[in-house]
A and B are shown apart, each in its own frame.
Chain A
Amino acid sequence: MAAASSGTVLHGVGVGRRAAIGPVVRVQPAPAVPPDTVLMVDGRPATPDQVRDAAGAAFTAVAQALTTQSSRATGTVRDVLAATAQMAGDPALRAQVLSRVAGGEPPVSAVDAVVNQFAGGYLAERVTDLRSVRDRVVARLMGLAEPGVPELAQPSIVVARDLAPADTSALDLDKVLALVTELGGPTSHTAIIAGQLGLPCVVRVAGADQLADGALVAVDAANGTVTVDPDAALRETLARRELAEQALTQDTAPGATADGHAVALLANIGTAADAARVGAVEGVGLFRTEVLFLERTSAPTRSEQAEAYEAALRALGGRKVVVRTLDAGADKPLAFATAPDEENPALGVRGYRLVRTHPELLDTQLEALADAQRATGTTPWVMAPMIATAAEAREFATRARAAGVATVGVMVEIPAAALRAREVLAEVDFVSLGTNDLAQYTMATDRLRGELADLLDAWQPAVLDLVAATARAGVELGKPVGVCGESAADPLMALVLVGMGITSLSMSAGAVPAVRYALRHHTLERCRQMAAAALGAPGAGEGRAAVTALLSDDARTVLVG
């Protein structure tokens, strides 16, 4: 593997618009070792007793290293590392692996078998920790580089083949300047985390494996580039852009086009604590309630939930709040509700569909939301995820209104719901488009498969057709249609969405200033021209280019330049 030389420019897909310059720190991938690999000692295959001793030593060493690393860390990172350390030191895990290898089973196969046996059921949420222990033990045993996230000694650019949620939670984010991955896509976990934290991020960077530890690189998310040893000119350009970016955040007026057409600019949040931190936005367009349900053996009670919803409503002091009911399943399994054996979880019992197996979960949540509404005098907008039919929308609306929820909506993220948007919208007060899942289901492309990122592009005309159909239904029925997916955070796409008739845009709070700026510099009529251009384009890239050509000169310099 040759290291990339000075001046080399690598290309990928940028997430966000920021840039950063700093030294590279590489995250080591999981060891790729066939399960039947034989452990060698002094050039000879090890005896079962030798393997047992080596495996025992590997578990001990991994647990110790994680404990030490945890004791030097703080906050969430400390907790994540401590939890992983505890698993590495787990007596049952260790004893079962040692007994298997003592019986002659190859060590990697033994570790995998025991890990797989625990990885399910009530441990579903901890599978990433368990796999992390597996990778570290196997690497230690086979004499390979320690996998996972290294400790960051100074502010750094983190470069990985891909980052798992466990990797990012073990990162000391105060020392992360930017994220660069070889795989992943713009809606992958890494990209979403980067968006929430306002970190520059470039995914799908071909040749990222050639970036050496310690090399100085410039990461430019706006252009999707990673430059090795940036020259003075590039440094100056990036510094100038950073100043312009900071200037954008000074403007905190409500969102509107140049000719005064109002578009609510909202933030996505996951907890009541996030609600207190959102800053100058007009409200919350997506309150994900899953966090309340994770890491538990049973659902939170009505009063526990009401308390959390009330705290969020109060933190936002009467501003609009759109609450999404529990969206568990697929990549967010719940110990007490998710069926462990779904072959195709993205198409399985997830989101609103949990009402088929666990109706009490939804009813309790709706009652708690109504309680919070009564206690605060603020009316939350409440919507269900993963609605496929008008009948499901009606059923949800009936349940919600029976519980006392005043404003009821559903998410449009399944193509079936977008195609029948009029009928769906007729049953509820509003809809919100989840463009990440809508793209995934329209293009039959797994959101987590980075190599298919081009198909998942929200600029794909087929995806835009469904968004436009939904927006049109809203205009015809005079009901609000919002967007709460990643595409709302892209200033160019935001202009297109407004041109289609979308009434609110919800995104990570950090993305609001650039979207606000974009809207303020274009009239509604220009937004409509952009929507027509994007819909009329033969492909995603052409659509984006056509819209870029319609930007005002000022906006092009600030947003694209």
Chain B
Amino acid sequence: MAERTVTVASRVGLHARPATLFTQAVAATGMPVTIAKAGGEPVDASSILFVMSLGVPYGDQVTLAVDGPGADEVLDGLVALLATDLDAPADPGTPS
């Protein structure tokens, strides 16, 4: 079991666009990666619903874990992704 702890670098937290990009990257690995908040239960990291439900804010740490061949390389890629600000300079223009 490979495991890595990383600080979330996206300013909006692991939410919205960053959560989308992260879960898509996890799904693309085809491996059963889990994600957990400090002291929390690990959940399926390819599920946008689970990942957004964690509500990880900017600057908090999460732990990724996976078992299987090439686990270390898979985690290297995902850790690098979380350590980047994934929030594009978007203008949602949401009317209210």
Report the bound CA distance from A273 to B90 in whole Å: 11
A137 to chain B, nearest CB (A): 14
Q: By the criterion CB–CB under 8 Å, are B93 and A291 in contact?
A: yes
Report the bound CA distance from A36 to B28 in whole Å: 37
- Which residue from chain A places its CB closest to the CB of B8 in the assembled complex? A297
Q: By the criterion CB–CB under 8 Å, are A92 and B96 in contact?
A: no
Interface string of A269-309 (1 = CB under 8 A from B): 01111100000000000001011001111101100100000
Contacts of A196 in B (CB 8 A): 95
Contacts of B31 in A (CB 8 A): none
Q: Give chain B's interface residue range (CB within 8 Å of chain A).
A: 20 to 34
**Which of A118-126, A152-160, A366-374, A476-484 makes up part of the contact surface?**
A118-126
Q: By the criterion CB–CB under 8 Å, are A123 and B49 in contact?
A: yes
Contacts of A270 in B (CB 8 A): 93-96
Interface string of B8-39 (1 = CB under 8 A from A): 00011111110010011001000000000000
Interface string of A59-102 (1 = CB under 8 A from B): 00000000000000000100000110011001111000000000
**Which of B54-62, B65-73, B75-83 makes up part of the contact surface?**
B54-62
Q: By the criterion CB–CB under 8 Å, are A90 and B95 in contact?
A: no
Q: By the criterion CB–CB under 8 Å, are A91 and B47 in contact?
A: yes
Of the candidates B44, B48, B50, which one forms a contact with A86 in the assembled complex, judged by CB atoms under 8 Å apart? B48
A399 CB-CB contact with B under 8 Å: no
Total residues of chain A contacting the partner, CB 8 A:
39
Q: By the criterion CB–CB under 8 Å, are A297 and B49 in contact?
A: no
Of the candidates B16, B24, B50, B53, which one forms a contact with A296 in the assembled complex, judged by CB atoms under 8 Å apart? B16
Q: A294 and B92 in contact (CB under 8 A), knowing A91-B44, A92-B47, A93-B49?
A: yes
Report the bound CA distance from A121 to B55 in whole Å: 8
Of the candidates A92, A118, A304, which one forms a contact with B11 in the assembled complex, judged by CB atoms under 8 Å apart? A304
A193 CB-CB contact with B under 8 Å: yes
A46 CB-CB contact with B under 8 Å: no
Of the candidates B16, B50, B57, B95, which one forms a contact with A92 in the assembled complex, judged by CB atoms under 8 Å apart? B50
Contacts of A298 in B (CB 8 A): 12-13, 57-58
- Which residue from chain A places its CB closest to the CB of B50 in the assembled complex? A92
Report the bound CA distance from A332 to B19 in whole Å: 21
Q: By the criterion CB–CB under 8 Å, are A118 and B49 in contact?
A: yes
Q: By the criterion CB–CB under 8 Å, are A296 and B15 in contact?
A: yes
Contacts of B57 in A (CB 8 A): 297-298, 336
Q: By the criterion CB–CB under 8 Å, are B47 and A90 in contact?
A: yes
Contacts of B41 in A (CB 8 A): none
Q: By the criterion CB–CB under 8 Å, are B53 and A123 in contact?
A: yes
- Which residue from chain A places its CB closest to the CB of B55 in the assembled complex? A122
Of the candidates B13, B17, B43, which one forms a contact with A297 in the assembled complex, judged by CB atoms under 8 Å apart? B13
Residue of B24, B47, B91 ringed by the most chain A CB atoms within 10 A: B47
B52 to chain A, nearest CB (A): 5
B93 to chain A, nearest CB (A): 6
Report the bound CA distance from A76 to B92 in whole Å: 8
Q: By the criterion CB–CB under 8 Å, are A90 and B48 in contact?
A: yes
A226 CB-CB contact with B under 8 Å: no
Contacts of A272 in B (CB 8 A): 91
Q: By the criterion CB–CB under 8 Å, are B93 and A271 in contact?
A: yes
Q: By the criterion CB–CB under 8 Å, are B49 and A291 in contact?
A: no
Q: A297 and B14 in contact (CB under 8 A), knowing A92-B44, A122-B52?
A: yes
| Contacts from B to A (Cβ < 8 Å) | 11-17, 20, 23-24, 27, 43-44, 46-50, 52-58, 91-96
**29 chain-A/chain-B pairs, Cβ below 8 angstroms:** A76-B93, A86-B20, A90-B49, A91-B46, A92-B50, A93-B47, A118-B53, A121-B55, A193-B95, A270-B93, A270-B96, A288-B96, A290-B94, A291-B92, A291-B94, A294-B94, A295-B12, A295-B15, A295-B17, A295-B92, A296-B13, A297-B55, A297-B57, A298-B13, A301-B11, A304-B11, A332-B96, A335-B15, A336-B55
Q: A271-B91, A304-B11 are in contact. List 7 more A-B contacts (CB 8 A).
A: A86-B20, A91-B27, A92-B50, A295-B16, A295-B17, A295-B92, A336-B55
